[in-house]
Amino acid sequence: MAERTARVSDVVMSRAALAEAELPLYAGLPLERVRLIVSAELAAEAQAALLAADAIGFDTESKPTFLKGEVSTGPHLVQLATDTHAYLFPIARAGDHTVLRAILESATVLKVGFGLGNDRSALKSRLGITLGKVLDLGETLRGPGHKGTVGAKVAVAHFFGQKLQKSKKTGTSNWANRNLTERQLLYAANDAHVALQLYRAWLSSEGLTG
């Protein structure tokens, strides 16, 4: 147990060094493996693939707020990923959230992501969805005795020896837009997909099988 704790804590302890390192870029999913769920048929496809998995990557995006006291109306996009594909659910266009609810509230499929506290509360308050069986890697990887959480960038550098590029401009773009750009689709898809890949890498490093 002591050895396992030390390995996980190393992720936090090496933040500064990892930030300075010259690393190859993390490729991520290509656009052809990203599904924007805008029909009942696509929702059924996503449900079948996601509920068949042991674990899926999870994240949400919301239109940013800029005014003091402005309350977010997000999430505006929910991202879920298997090992091979990402499925993006635009909240405003989905209408019926039955499929999304079935996946997110599942007690058998593990949802893996980073910094999921806000996602959990926003889904509950806006959509009445209570997340079931969730693992926040940001908390898991920080190790005992450390404050804060580990981010995906640091984790990618630690486990893969690669650099995860995250555009601030894209991250703070309007996720409530009806027509998302390719940059938005890829950004959102890989936020969810990379979490799952890091979960797999963490399991392997710990000698676990899931």
Beta bridge partners of 36: 88
pLDDT of res. 187: 97
**Domain interval for residue 159:** 2-205
The CATH number assigned to the domain holding 41 equals 3.30.420.10
Q: Is residue 159 one of the residues assigned to a domain?
A: yes
pTM for this predicted structure: 0.87
Q: What is the pLDDT of residue 4?
A: 46
Series of mean pLDDT values for 10-residue runs along the chain (210 residues): 45 54 90 95 96 97 70 83 97 81 97 91 90 93 72 92 92 91 97 98 82
Is residue 210 one of the residues assigned to a domain?
no
Q: How many CA atoms lie within 13 A of 135 on its CB side?
A: 21
Q: Given this model, what pLDDT does residue 146 score? A: 63
Looking at residue 178, the DSSP 8-state letter turns out to be S
| Total domains present in the chain | 1
Q: How far apart are CA 142 and CA 129, in angstroms?
A: 27
Among 45, 177, 37, CA closest to 97: 37
Residue 83 counted as domain residue: yes
Q: What is the pLDDT of residue 96?
A: 77
Q: Is 189 exposed, middle or buried (0-12, 13-18, 19+ CB in 10 A)?
A: buried
Nearest to 201 by CA among 93, 83, 61, 103: 83
For 84-131, give the DSSP string. S-EEEEEHHHH---HHHHHHHT-SSSEEEESS-HHHHHHHHHHH----
Residue 150 included in any domain = yes
Please check whether residue 16 lies inside any domain of the structure. Answer: yes
